A and B are shown apart, each in its own frame.
Chain A
Amino acid sequence: MLRSDQILATVEMIQKENLDVRTVTMGINLLDCRASSIGQTCRNIEERISERAGKFVETCNFVSRKLGIPVVNKRISITPISLVGAGFNRDDFVALAKSLDRAAAVVEVDILGGFSAQVEKGMTRTDREYIHSLPEALRESKTVCASINIASSQKGINMDALAMLGPTIKDIAEQTADQGGFGAAKFVVFCNQPGDNPFMAGAIHGVEEADTVLNVGVSGPGVIARSLEKLITSRQSDEIGLKLDEIAEEIKQTTFRVTRCGELVGRQVSDILGVSFGVVDLSLAPTPTVGDSVGEILHILGVDAIGAPGSTAILAMLNDAVKKGGIFASKTVGGLSGAFIPVMEDSVLAEAVGKGHLCLEKLEAMTCVCSVGIDMVAIPGSVDGDTISAIIADEMALGMVNNKTTAVRLIPVPGKEVGDSISFGGLFGASPIMPVRNVGKSSRFIGWGGRIPAPVHSFKN
Chain B
Amino acid sequence: MSREMVISVMSKDRTGIVADITGAIYELGGDLADLNQSTLGGYLTMILFATFDEGVSPAMLREKIDAIDSPTTLDVVAREITPAPSSEHSELPRKTYIMTTQGLNRKGLVYGISSFCFRHDINILDLATTIMADTYTMVLQLDLSRVESIAEVRSALDTYAHEEGLQVVLQHHDLFKVTNEIPF
Cα–Cα, bound, A67→B169 (Å): 11
Q: Does any Cβ of B come within 8 Å of A2's Cβ?
A: yes
A8 adjacent to B179 (CB under 8 Å): no
A264 adjacent to B175 (CB under 8 Å): yes
Which B residues touch A257, using CB under 8 A? 179-180
Q: Does any Cβ of A come within 8 Å of B171's Cβ?
A: yes
Scoring B167, B171, B179, B180 by chain A CB atoms within 10 A of each residue's CB, the highest score goes to B179
B139 adjacent to A4 (CB under 8 Å): yes
Q: How many residues of B contact A (CB 8 A)?
A: 27
A260 adjacent to B178 (CB under 8 Å): yes
B172 adjacent to A7 (CB under 8 Å): no
Which residue of A7, A15, A260, A263 is within 8 Å of B98 (Cβ)?
Answer: A7
Q: Does any Cβ of B come within 8 Å of A13's Cβ?
A: yes
Which A residues touch B174, using CB under 8 A? 67, 264
A68 adjacent to B170 (CB under 8 Å): yes
Which B residues touch A66, using CB under 8 A? 150, 172
Which A residues touch B169, using CB under 8 A? 11, 14-15, 68
Q: Does any Cβ of A come within 8 Å of B133's Cβ?
A: no
Contact with A along B39-78 (1 / 0, CB 8 A): 0000000000000000000000000000000000000000
B100 adjacent to A7 (CB under 8 Å): yes
Q: How many residues of A contact B (CB 8 A)?
A: 21
Given contacts A7-B139, A13-B179, contact A65 B171 (CB under 8 A): no
Cα–Cα, bound, A65→B167 (Å): 17
Cα–Cα, bound, A6→B181 (Å): 10
User: Whole-angstrom distance from the CB of A61 to the nearest CB of chain B?
Assistant: 10
Which residue of A4, A67, A261 is within 8 Å of B128 (Cβ)?
Answer: A4
Which residue of A6, A15, A67 is within 8 Å of B172 (Cβ)?
Answer: A67
User: Whole-angstrom distance from the CB of A313 to the nearest CB of chain B?
Assistant: 29
Which A residues touch B139, using CB under 8 A? 4, 7-8
Identify which of residues 237-268 in chain A touch chain B, using a CB-to-CB cut-off of 8 Å. Answer: 257, 260-261, 263-264
Cα–Cα, bound, A65→B153 (Å): 11
Contact with A along B152-184 (1 / 0, CB 8 A): 001000000000000101111111111111000
A10 adjacent to B179 (CB under 8 Å): yes
Which A residues touch B97, using CB under 8 A? 68
A68 adjacent to B141 (CB under 8 Å): no
Which B residues touch A13, using CB under 8 A? 179
B175 adjacent to A65 (CB under 8 Å): no
Which B residues touch A31, using CB under 8 A? none
Cα–Cα, bound, A339→B169 (Å): 30
Q: Does any Cβ of B come within 8 Å of A456's Cβ?
A: no
Which A residues touch B175, using CB under 8 A? 10, 67-69, 261, 264
Which B residues touch A69, using CB under 8 A? 171, 175
User: Whole-angstrom distance from the CB of B174 to the nearest CB of chain A?
Assistant: 6
Which residue of B126, B171, B179 is within 8 Å of A1 (Cβ)?
Answer: B126
User: Whole-angstrom distance from the CB of A234 to the nearest CB of chain B?
Assistant: 16
Cα–Cα, bound, A6→B173 (Å): 12
Which B residues touch A15, using CB under 8 A? 167, 169
Contact with B along A66-80 (1 / 0, CB 8 A): 111100000000000
Scoring A14, A65, A260 by chain B CB atoms within 10 A of each residue's CB, the highest score goes to A260
Cα–Cα, bound, A257→B179 (Å): 5
Which A residues touch B128, using CB under 8 A? 1, 4
User: Whole-angstrom distance from the CB of B114 to the nearest CB of chain A?
Assistant: 17
Which A residues touch B1, using CB under 8 A? none
Residue of A nearest to B170 (CB): A68
User: Whole-angstrom distance from the CB of A374 to the nearest CB of chain B?
Assistant: 34
Given contacts A4-B139, A8-B137, A11-B100, contact A65 B151 (CB under 8 A): yes
Cα–Cα, bound, A2→B126 (Å): 10
User: Whole-angstrom distance from the CB of A17 to the nearest CB of chain B?
Assistant: 12
Identify which of residues 1-31 in chain A touch chain B, using a CB-to-CB cut-off of 8 Å. Answer: 1-2, 4, 6-8, 10-11, 13-15
Cα–Cα, bound, A10→B151 (Å): 21
Which B residues touch A7, using CB under 8 A? 98, 100, 139, 176
Cα–Cα, bound, A113→B45 (Å): 59
Cα–Cα, bound, A15→B175 (Å): 14
Which B residues touch A260, using CB under 8 A? 178-179
User: Whole-angstrom distance from the CB of A446 to the nearest CB of chain B?
Assistant: 49
Cα–Cα, bound, A11→B150 (Å): 18
User: Whole-angstrom distance from the CB of B157 to the nearest CB of chain A?
Assistant: 11
Q: Does any Cβ of A come within 8 Å of B130's Cβ?
A: yes
Cα–Cα, bound, A69→B172 (Å): 9
B176 adjacent to A6 (CB under 8 Å): yes
Identify which of residues 38-86 in chain A touch chain B, using a CB-to-CB cut-off of 8 Å. Answer: 65-69
27 sampled A-B residue pairs with Cβ under 8 A? A1-B125, A1-B126, A1-B141, A2-B173, A2-B176, A2-B177, A2-B180, A2-B181, A4-B130, A6-B179, A6-B180, A7-B139, A8-B137, A8-B139, A10-B176, A10-B179, A11-B169, A11-B171, A15-B167, A67-B174, A68-B169, A68-B172, A260-B179, A261-B175, A261-B179, A264-B174, A264-B178
Question: Could you list 7 further interchain pairs (A-B, Cβ under 8 angstroms) beyond the known A65-B150, A257-B179, A261-B175?
Answer: A1-B141, A2-B173, A6-B180, A10-B179, A66-B172, A69-B175, A257-B180
Nearest 8 pairs of A and B residues by beta carbon: A68-B171, A260-B178, A257-B179, A67-B172, A6-B180, A4-B139, A4-B128, A1-B126
* Residues of chain A whose beta carbon lies under 8 Å from any beta carbon of chain B: 1-2, 4, 6-8, 10-11, 13-15, 65-69, 257, 260-261, 263-264
* Residues of chain B whose beta carbon lies under 8 Å from any beta carbon of chain A: 97-98, 100, 125-126, 128, 130, 137, 139, 141, 150-151, 154, 167, 169-181
